[in-house]
Amino acid sequence: MRSLPRIVIEPLVRAALLEDLGRAGDITTDSVIEPAQQARVALVSREPGVIAGGECARLAWELIDPSIQVSDLLPDGTRVTPGTVIGYASGPTRGLLSGERVALNFLGHLSGVATGTATIAGAIAHTKARVADTRKTIPGLRALQKHAVVAGGGTNHRFGLDDAVLIKDNHVAAAGGITAAYRAAKAHVGHLVKIEVEVDNLHQLAELLQTGADAALLDNMGPELLRQAVEMVAGRMITEASGRITPETAVPIAEAGVDLISVGWLTHSARVLDIGLDYAS
């Protein structure tokens, strides 16, 4: 899959290193390890999952010490099992140890996002639905987390408030109704901007279908209600289901016929994939 540009990744990794090194640097490693000592280490998966964030790990070491070489790095989106070597790093031992935690933090977290996404994507693979992320991302990490979602077989929702219109329930209430909110948005944005509107029931959906909106966000509807909603839409707009969806509930929701399932916990509550750093020969 396509990698994120270095210019996107580097400021995030650099900030994490600066936070970890603090004012005096790695006083533990600098006091224990001789400057000339060299080592080779391996990134090893401790459990099954999908890898994402390899370039962040590479950058963590390269920014600490440009002489460190990272090799045989598995591409993002690769499935691993316990014991899989994800890549190697070799060079000054001080730099390897000082960059270890930041490298593993990014790699473990983003691989966790990819793995969670893959879990749902695999569960609903027999349907037409795709799993999508949301804007419920960790501040500063949105581009990385959304990249990890794609690595796990998902698709991206909007990246921010400026690339699509999503009219939620509070917008509808403040604007005086679904039709009023849609018309105001349509008059404000350019012709290439998509408009999606959140609905909570079939009555609201019926009104939305008269507007010409591009997508309906079907919020907190059960499978049977979703099935009715999909029948009402009849392909006239994209249907997206949302609302506390888990790997268990995703299957009947996808089987209701929706186009997308958006899941916030993929990014805001992803479980870290257990990845370790071992000395290699």
Same domain, 74 and 198: no
Secondary structure (DSSP) of 245-274:
--HHHHHHHHHTT-SEEE-THHHHSPPPP-
pTM of the model: 0.96
Q: Is 207 a catalytic residue?
A: no
Give the pair of three-digit tokens for residue 226.
């979703």
| Model pLDDT for residues 171-227, shown as the tens digit of each residue | 999 999 999 999 999 999 999 999 999 999 999 999 999 999 999 999 999 999 999
Report the CATH number that the domain containing residue 81 is assigned in CATH: 3.90.1170.20
Which of 21, 18, 17, 8 lies closest to 55 in space, CA to CA? 8
Give the pLDDT score at 122.
97
Domains held by the chain: number: 2
Burial class (CB in 10 A: 0-12, 13-18, 19+), 144: buried
Note the pLDDT of residue 3.
84
Active-site residue identified among 168, 231, 236, 271: 168
Which segments of 138-265 are extended strands (E)? 165-167, 195-199, 215-219, 238-242, 260-262
At 2 the pLDDT is: 80
202 and 263, same domain (yes or no) = yes
Q: Which residue has the tokens 């609905």?
A: 199
Range of the domain at 47: 6-121+270-279
User: Do 115 and 46 reside in the same domain of the chain?
Assistant: yes
Domain shared by 82 and 175, yes or no:
no
Q: Which of 46, 79, 101, 142 is catalytic?
A: 101
Residues 154 and 105 in one domain: no
Residues of the chain with pLDDT under 70: 281
> What's the confidence (pLDDT) of residue 41?
98
Q: Does residue 70 share a domain with residue 204?
A: no
- pLDDT score for 10: 97
- Which entry of 26, 76, 198, 240 is annotated as an active-site residue? 198
Q: Which of 231, 229, 226 is nearest to 245 (CA)?
A: 226
